[in-house]
């Protein structure tokens, strides 16, 4: 099992609140990713990072922001949560030539 962790696992929060989803990995991987997944749908890349101080937006437009101050830590922040942000958020990291990705357990976010 991969050493990549996400907290919280579940979060129910009211509209307008600021939230930060935590992701950390102990494998020393340079590349990290955030995905959004709705039930029965494919994963969509919303942010990625090649390394410290490197962040890029993914394919799916997202109102969230990320930071990468340390190799092992890649938090995602929503400044003002809305019901449309309700989804599962998956963090991943990768290594090697094939960039095999290891996923965290996910955070299920519900915005009421």
Partner 1 sequence: KNQVEQSPQSLIILEGKNCTLQCNYTVSPFSNLRWYKQDTGRGPVSLTIMTFSENTKSNGRYTATLDADTKQSSLHITASQLSDSASYICVVSDRGSTLGRLYFGRGTQLTVWP
Q: Please report whether residue 100 would count as binding partner 1 according to CB under 8 A.
A: yes
Q: Tell me the number of residues near partner 1 by CB under 8 A.
A: 26
The per-residue DSSP string of the chain comes to ---EEEE-SEEEE-TT--EEEEEEESS--SEEEEEEE-TTS--EEEEEEEETTEEEE-SS--S-EE--SBTTB--EEESS--GGG-EEEEEEEEETTTTEEEE---EEEEE-
Among 12, 27, 52, 99, which residue interacts with partner 1 (rule: CB under 8 A)? 99
Instruction: Single out the segment in contact with partner 1 by CB under 8 A; choices: 14-22, 37-45, 62-70, 73-81.
Output: 37-45
Between 59 and 79, name the residue whose CB sits nearer to partner 1: 59
Among 32, 76, 78, 92, which residue interacts with partner 1 (rule: CB under 8 A)? 92
Cα angle vertex 66, ends 65, 70, to 5°? Answer: 160
Give me the least distance between CB of 23 and partner 1, in Å please: 11
Among 34, 36, 47, 48, which residue interacts with partner 1 (rule: CB under 8 A)? 48
Give me the least distance between CB of 62 and partner 1, in Å please: 16
């Amino acid at each position: 099992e991969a050493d990549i962790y996400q907290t919280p696992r579940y979060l129910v929060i009211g509209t307008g609140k600021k939230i930060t989803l935590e992701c950390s990995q102990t494998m020393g991987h340079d590349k990290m990713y955030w995905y959004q997944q709705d039930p029965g749908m494919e994963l969509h890349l919303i942010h990625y990072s090649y390394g410290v101080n490197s962040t890029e937006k993914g394919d799916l437009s997202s109102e969230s922001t990320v930071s990468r101050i340390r190799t092992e830590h890649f938090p995602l922040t929503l400044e003002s949560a809305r019901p449309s942000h309700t989804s599962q958020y998956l963090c991943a990291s990768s290594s090697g030539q094939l960039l095999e990705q290891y996923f965290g357990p996910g955070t299920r976010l519900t915005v009421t």
